[in-house]
Amino acid sequence: MTWFQDFPQMDDDTLRSLKQFIDEGFRGFTRSYGETIEGFFNPLQKFLLLSEKFMTQTPWPVIVLIVLAIAWGASRSVKITIGALVALMAIGYFGMWDDSMRTISMIFVCTVLSIVIGLPIGIMMARSERVQRVINPILDVMQTMPSFVYLIPVVMLLGIGRVPGLIAVVIYAIPPMIRMTNLGIRLVDKDVLEAADAFGSSSWQKLKSVQLPLALPTIMAGINQTIMMALAMVVIASMIGVQGLGQPVLKAIANQYFTLGIFNGLAIVGIAIIFDRVSQAYGQRLQKHLEVVHG
């Protein structure tokens, strides 16, 4: 195996100098522009705090009714609605309500942010092969990079707190939203687009009235995956100050509290199942509706 040991490598001093140069450059960037970047994210922090305040200070019966109304409106399924009720009751009964509401508020903000950023990028990718060639490798890196790595530059730029955690979660969770938007628009039947052209529709009218409505079930699948990935990041994001169910799980790992970790882990699973079933059911209803309309 000596041939492998002789593999050509960069000189240790050169490698050390390169790493030091990159680290010092990034530190210098954070010192110069850190405050400006923090100011840029102030509206996001206010939105997150407002969402968290609503979820934690609103009486629990009101929150339960809102969630059940959303579940029923999206799914029209008694089974899914009752399942959501049972999950919420169990979360409250075992004393995890406040942490669960903080987690739900963060997932809500992450999802809104992912839609606001991801939808336009996905549309641009669908309309331009050049943009798709540029964006696809970036999405590949975002999806394969270990999630802990996202925390390093975010913490160096913004420190510890809710907003850095939120940004790390969005970076981790947004690729499915972008990919599925791109895919959904590209899968729209060309005959439908030709018919829209025949009626003299502009590019914007085709996008607004034809492509986006027909791509909506696929986009909903992207939103579903974004929510699932955001929930998967909750525990890791708790390492940099994100409040919610992730912090008790982190505490359980550090102190070997088995039941604390299991209970809060199951609460995350319960929230994930509610989001997953409701969004999937809504996507299926959209699909059936479109099949009826265009069938």
For the segment 112-125, what is each residue's pLDDT rounded down to a tens digit?
999 999 999 999 99
Q: What radius of gyration, in Å, describes the C-alpha atoms of the chain? A: 23
Q: Give 172-201 pLDDT, tens digit per residue.
A: 889 999 999 999 998 888 888 888 878 877
Residue 3 pLDDT level (bands cut at 50, 70, 90): low
Residues with Cβ within 8 Å of residue 163, at least 6 apart in sequence: 41, 44, 45, 48
Nearest Cα neighbor of 110 from 148, 162, 57 is: 162
15 or 87, greater pLDDT: 87
Question: At how many degrees (to 10) do helices 97-127 and 175-186 cross?
Answer: 40
Percent of the chain residues topping a pLDDT of 70: 94
Mean pLDDT of 9-35: 77
List pLDDT tens digits, range 202-216.
888 888 888 888 888
Q: Are 126 and 182 in contact (CB under 8 A)?
A: yes
Write down the pTM of the prediction.
0.84
| Structure confidence at residue 62 (pLDDT) | 94
Structural domains present in the chain: 17-294 (1.10.3720.10)
- Over 80: is that where the pLDDT of 85 sits? yes
How far is residue 283's CA from residue 295's CA, in Å, rounded to a whole number? 17
Instruction: Give the per-residue pLDDT at 293.
Output: 59
| Chain mean position to CA 249 | 20
- The residue that leads in pLDDT, 74 or 152, is 74
Q: What is the pLDDT of residues 271-291, one digit of tens each?
A: 988 888 888 888 778 777 666
